[in-house]
Amino acid sequence: MAVVGAGYVGLTTAACLADLGNDVAVVDVNREKIAQLKAHQVPFYEPGLSELVERNYRAGRLRFTTAYEDAGPGAEYAIIAVSTPEGEGGEADLSYVEAAATSIANCMDGPLVVINKSTVPPLTGDMVSNVLRKTKAGEAAAVVSNPEFLREGSAIQDFMHPDRVVIGSHDRGAAEKVALLYSTLEAPILITPNIYTAEMVKYGSNAFLAARISFINEIARICERVGADAKLVAEGMGLDKRIGPSFLDAGIGYGGSCFPKDVKALAALAERFDYHPELLHAVMAINRDQRMLVVDKLRECLEVLQGQVIGLFGLAFKPNTDDLREAPSIEIAKVLLAAGAAVRAYDPAAMEGSRRIMPDIEYMNGAYETAAGADAVVVVTEWNEFRYLDLGRMKSSMRKPVVIDGRNIYDPAVMRGHGFTYRGIGRE
Ligand code: NAD
């Protein structure tokens, strides 16, 4: 089989399917990425992925190429896992999917099941079918939607132990053939009788999770005003089986390569079909404002930002990844720099990428070095190593002991006990 796209989703999918015993060729147009993979380097940070890629590469089940024609021969499946970034009007930019489908069509040499794993709006499967049908060989291809739900940071675990596998196609036989790929995994498989339903499951899921985050952030803002503790409120809510505890952490809001663009794309899709999605717009507006809360709290504690040294704990959009796409850190750093503050930062995985996009930040070697001499520290990403610091050591090294905890990782009473001026989100 061929996997098109060697990113977080494509490479994880390829390595996991190879590990399940399949012969997998990964094709990517990015020459540098393929060269790195051939040199035994995974181009991004994902726990356990290097080892899995290496093992299957050595076993001869996994190979890498920039040429579609090298990946194609004899393949029964082609999995599209290319980027679907935000387009100009907020809609999903499908040009990479279209280009991948065109390249597949041009090198097909037999019946093929084309599986779309990229996150795409309903009707994209039909577009892929139309592209494939432009070539004689492409007429024999079946198109299946099989959205991916893995999370960066736990991608392998999520792929191998998914909550569910969703497969949709107008061609039931092709959908069942895709289900075979997952038959050894212990997961419910939902086959939808049309492709649009499967495509929509992914958007519905991501929009719902984003809505939970904005919901709890709205509750947190109310908590702050009435003197309630949002963390405990969420705990109390989450004990209700109908609600459940996940995605109820008040904080800086959602970021990353999926939620922001997927909620926007779903809203744009709805508008295109003459429906105004009130709730999705509120979810996005709350999230936009949420990022700036930590800056407001810094202003409240420091009065002026000009000339202050602000240390950021974490840069990646979430822990256990180096991904900086739509990371709140970028916007927060920009606003602080524009206000005349000196910004320094430390992240266990995202420093290299961050240096390229934010050269005006000073990069430090660890949390203690980031805090030493700073006027305030902002917890941006809740990496575990920030949770268990020697708080006494940190406090005594700071110029002013201000901590703005954008992820509520510290206990307010403990922080005050150490003499910090502490502000969490939805709790004082
Ligand atoms: P990515 O940007 O990490 O990787 C995409 C890869 O596709 C890149 O290496 C790029 O060079 C390659 N590519 C682009 N056009 C190509 C073409 N025509 N032919 C061959 N290769 C091409 O993206 P990602 O994070 O892996 O996401 C891929 C898709 O999966 C997106 O639609 C995303 O929304 C979805 N998704 C992502 C995640 C996640 O956590 N990252 C989770 C679920 C779903």
Q: Is 146 in the pocket of ligand 1 (CB under 6 A)?
A: no
Residue 243 CA to ligand 1 center (angstroms) comes to 32
User: Phi/psi zone of residue 274: left (φ > 0), alpha (ψ -120 to 50 degrees), beta?
Assistant: left
Q: Which of 12, 28, 261 to mutate to test the pocket of ligand 1 (most atoms within 8 A of CB)?
A: 28
Mean pLDDT, residues 384-394 taken together: 97
Residue 74 CA to ligand 1 center (angstroms) comes to 24
Residue that the structure tokens 């936009």 belong to: 288
Mean pLDDT, residues 410-416 taken together: 96
Which tens digit of pLDDT belongs to each residue from 95-116?
999 999 999 999 888 889 999 9
Q: Which amino acid is at 284?
A: M
Which tens digit of pLDDT belongs to each residue from 138-152?
888 999 999 999 999
Sequence-distant (≥ 6) Cβ neighbours of residue 4 within 8 angstroms? 10, 27, 28, 68, 71, 78, 79, 80, 81, 82, 100, 103, 104
Instruction: Point out the residues that are catalytic.
Output: 258
DSSP state of 166: E
Atom of ligand 1 nearest to the CA of 92: 32
Q: Where in the chain is the domain with CATH 3.40.50.720?
A: 2-193, 292-423
Atom of ligand 1 nearest to the CA of 82: 7
Q: How confident is the model at residue 185 (pLDDT cuts 50, 70, 90)?
A: very high
Per-position DSSP letters for 49-85, written without gaps between them: HHHHHHHHHHTTSEEEES-HHHH-TT-SEEEE-----
Atom of ligand 1 nearest to the CA of 147: 44
Q: Is 96 in the pocket of ligand 1 (CB under 6 A)?
A: yes
pTM value is 0.95
Which CATH number applies to 292-423?
A: 3.40.50.720
Q: Per CATH, is 2-193 categorized as 3.40.50.720?
A: yes
Residue 18 CA to ligand 1 center (angstroms) comes to 19
| pLDDT at residue 109, rounded to an integer | 81
Cβ contact 417:390 at 8 Å: no
Q: Which of 3, 9, 95 to mutate to test the pocket of ligand 1 (most atoms within 8 A of CB)?
A: 9
Closest CA to 159 of 167, 147, 168, 150: 150
Q: Which of 4, 8, 44, 165 to mutate to test the pocket of ligand 1 (most atoms within 8 A of CB)?
A: 8
Q: How confident is the model at residue 393 (pLDDT cuts 50, 70, 90)?
A: very high
Q: Is 132 in the pocket of ligand 1 (CB under 6 A)?
A: no
Q: Is 347 in the pocket of ligand 1 (CB under 6 A)?
A: no
Cβ contact 192:400 at 8 Å: no
Which tens digit of pLDDT belongs to each residue from 286-326?
999 999 999 999 999 999 999 999 999 999 999 999 999 99
Tell whether the model's pLDDT for residue 415 goes beyond 80. yes
Q: What does the radius of gyration of the chain's CA atoms come to, in whole angstroms? A: 23
70-74, 390-394, 400-404, 414-418: which has the minimum mean pLDDT?
70-74
Cβ contact 409:387 at 8 Å: yes
In the sheet that holds 309-313, the strands lie side by side as: 362-363, 342-346, 309-313, 376-379, 402-405, 421-423
Q: Is 13 in the pocket of ligand 1 (CB under 6 A)?
A: no
| pLDDT at residue 81, rounded to an integer | 98
Residue 100 CA to ligand 1 center (angstroms) comes to 11
Tell whether the model's pLDDT for residue 73 goes beyond 80. no
Residue 359 CA to ligand 1 center (angstroms) comes to 26
Considering the domain delimited by 203-289, tell me its CATH architecture: Orthogonal Bundle (1.10)
Bridge partners of residue 378, in order along the sequence: 312, 404
Cβ contact 322:349 at 8 Å: yes
Residue 84 CA to ligand 1 center (angstroms) comes to 7
Q: Is 118 in the pocket of ligand 1 (CB under 6 A)?
A: yes
Mean pLDDT, residues 179-195 taken together: 96
Give the whole-angstrom CA distance, residue 213 versus residue 199. 22
Residue that the structure tokens 């520290």 belong to: 377
Tell me which residue has its CA closest to atom 4 in ligand 1. 7
Tell me which residue has its CA closest to atom 12 in ligand 1. 5
Q: Is 320 in the pocket of ligand 1 (CB under 6 A)?
A: no
| pLDDT at residue 139, rounded to an integer | 87
CA 11 to chain centre: 15
CA 88 to chain centre: 20
Q: What share of the chain is helix, strand, coil (3-state, %, to 5)?
A: 45, 15, 40
| pLDDT at residue 203, rounded to an integer | 98
Q: Where in the chain is the domain with CATH 1.10.1040.10?
A: 203-289
Which tens digit of pLDDT belongs to each residue from 214-273?
999 999 999 999 999 999 999 999 999 999 999 999 999 999 999 999 999 999 999 999
Residue 10 CA to ligand 1 center (angstroms) comes to 7
Structural tokens at position 50: 């290097």
Mean pLDDT (the chain) is: 96
